[in-house]
Amino acid sequence: MARLLLCVMLVLLCRPAIALADDIAVAAASDLQFAIKELIVEYEKQTGHHVKLSLGSSGNFFAQLQQGAPFDLYFSADIGYPKKLEEAGLTVPGSLYRYAVGRVVLWAPKSSPLDVSKGLTTLREPAIRKVAIANPKHAPYGRAAVAAMEHAQVYADVKDRLVLGENISQAAQFIESGACDVGIIALSLAMAPVMKSAGSYWLIPAEAHPPLEQGAVIMKQSKQQDAARHFLQFMQSPQGQEVMTRYGFTLPN
């Protein structure tokens, strides 16, 4: 009897270790904030695996991964970053996946008197004191915002009123909280129910900025490569693609 109890205890003690062995650490660009959380909930429900999610700017994660940050899977809003990691031999060969193309929008809260449907020329209005964008130094959406303003020939009028978020999610928070009057954010954030109910947006033409091609890659240092690959496969499934489409991402052919 004592031996049986000991065996049962050993099994119970080992179960958490087995579950933890399948946990994956994911670094994701913050434009995925709402979409990837939906994906993770369903993935965990179906597989029993756990995903530890970190959201931030693609450039900052890139710098961390170059220094060996312990992430298994990296989702970047600029596919150039995972390509550079691949060239440096830091990724699992053949794991690079172009998962989406992002879009940017001009977004203002419902309390704002601004008519965003007039497009980026609205930014010239004297009533606008602060315009939020992501920091173009390390956030792809920030670079797209600058390019779009330059395309519309309003950047010179606006640059002194820009407020830079650490990432595109923080830029959106600046507007939603009232710290900024308007901003250029990711369509994927603007289409989230909480943002839809809080404001309105105007979709910036795709030709106004370089394509926001996005890519994911599995890190070579990862000890959970199979689980990371499984999550990527789930993202490519019809269920995963439906979630991405619903948040405004254009899917790869």
Q: How far is CA 5 from the centre of its chain?
A: 48
**Who's near 157: CB < 8 A, 6+ residues apart?**
123, 124
Helix (H, G, I), strand (E, B) or coil at 129: coil
- Binding-site residue ranges: 58, 168
Per-residue pLDDT, 13: 39
Residue range 192-201, pLDDT digits in tens: 999 999 999 9
CATH 3.30.470.20 for the 103-208 domain, yes or no? no
Domain ranges of the chain: 2-101+212-246, 103-208
Residue 113 pLDDT exceeds 60 = yes
pLDDT tops 50 at residue 165: yes
Which one-letter amino acid corresponds to residue 183? G
122-149 per-position pLDDT tens digit? 999 999 999 999 999 999 999 999 999 9
CB 85 within 8 A of CB 74: yes
Is the pLDDT at 8 greater than 70, yes or no?
no
The architecture of the domain spanning 2-101+212-246 is 3-Layer(aba) Sandwich (3.40)
pLDDT higher than threshold 50 for residue 180 = yes
At 117 the pLDDT is: 94
Give the residue from 219, 144, 153 showing the smallest Cα distance to 188. 144
* 8 Å CB contact between 170 and 180: no
Is the pLDDT score of 97 beyond 50?
A: yes
Within the chain, residue ranges assigned H as helices are 2-21, 33-47, 58-66, 80-87, 140-151, 155-158, 168-176, 187-190, 193-196, 225-236, 238-246
Say whether pLDDT at 232 is over 90.
yes
Q: d(Cα 28, Cα 104) in Å, to the nearest integer? A: 18
- Neighbour-count burial of 64, counting CB atoms closer than 10 A to its CB (0-12 exposed, 13-18 middle, 19+ buried): middle
Whether 2 has a pLDDT exceeding 80, the answer reads no
Predicted local confidence at residue 252, as pLDDT: 82
Question: What is the maximal distance between C-alpha atoms in the chain?
Answer: 82
Q: For residue 60, what is the DSSP state?
A: H
- On whether the CB atoms of residues 232 and 73 are closer than 8 A, the answer is yes
Res 21 pLDDT > 80: no
103-208 shares the fold of 2-101+212-246: yes
For the chain, how many residues are written?
253
CA–CA separation, 59 vs 141, rounded Å?
11
Structure tokens at 18: 């087995």
Q: Which residues contact 41 (CB under 8 A, 6 or more apart)?
A: none
For residue 229, what pLDDT is reported? Answer: 96
Banded pLDDT at 20 (limits 50, 70, 90): very low
Structure-model confidence comparison of residues 253 and 227, the more confident one: 227
> CA-to-CA distance for 91 and 236, rounded, in angstroms?
19
How much is the mean pLDDT over the chain? 92
Express the helix, strand and coil content of the chain in percent, nearest 5 each. Answer: 50, 20, 30
Task: List the binding residues for molybdate.
Answer: 58, 168
Q: Please compute the mean of the pLDDT values over residues 68-72 and round it to a whole number.
A: 97
pLDDT, mean of residues 203-209 = 98
The reported pLDDT for the residue numbered 179 is: 96
Looking at the chain, the whole-number percentage of residues with pLDDT higher than 90 is 88
